[in-house]
């Protein structure tokens, strides 16, 4: 049975997130005084036709490093879910 790899890509803290900043300003303009900050990332779902969890995890990590994120300025997190 295949797995769904749920990958979140976020900008490293040291990188200025201009989109997040714009959203943060908009939220404050809407009157949400307790909003502290906002950061924007990407959420990617990849279906991997692989029955072994370990192998699906290996592929998920490899594609995250190789293509889905740029390690110079981004971090990623990976979660795997078995599709029943």
Partner 1 sequence: MSDITVGVVVFPGSNCDHDTEHAVASFAGFKPVMLWHNDHDLQGAKAIILPGGFSYGDYLRAGSIARFSPIMKEVIEFAGKGFPVLGICNGFQVLLESGLLEGALSRNRDKKFLCCQTTIRAVNGSTIFTSLYPEDEVLRIPIAHGEGNYFAPDDVIESLEEHDQIVFKYTDAEGRVTDEANPNGSLKNIAGIVNRQGNVLGLMPHPERASEKQLGSLDGRGLFESLFLHLAEV
Q: Which residues bind partner 1 (CB under 8 A)?
A: 11, 15-19, 21-22, 42, 67-68, 70, 72-73
CA distances from 44 to 9, 10, 12, 81 (A): 8, 11, 17, 13
Between 51 and 77, CB nearer to partner 1? 77
Cβ atoms within 10 Å of 50's Cβ, excluding its own: 18
Between 48 and 69, CB nearer to partner 1? 69
Between 15 and 53, CB nearer to partner 1? 15
Helices (H), 1-84: 18-29, 53-63
- Shortest distance (Å) from residue 67 CB to partner 1: 6
């Amino acid at each position: 049975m295949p797995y769904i790899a749920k990958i979140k890509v976020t900008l490293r803290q040291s990188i200025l997130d201009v989109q997040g900043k714009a959203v943060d300003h908009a939220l404050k303009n809407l009157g949400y005084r307790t909003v502290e900050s906002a950061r924007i990332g990407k959420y990617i779902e990849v279906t991997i036709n692989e029955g072994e969890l370990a192998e699906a995890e290996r592929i998920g990590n490899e594609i995250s490093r190789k293509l889905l994120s740029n390690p110079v300025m981004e971090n990623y997190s990976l979660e795997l879910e078995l599709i029943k």
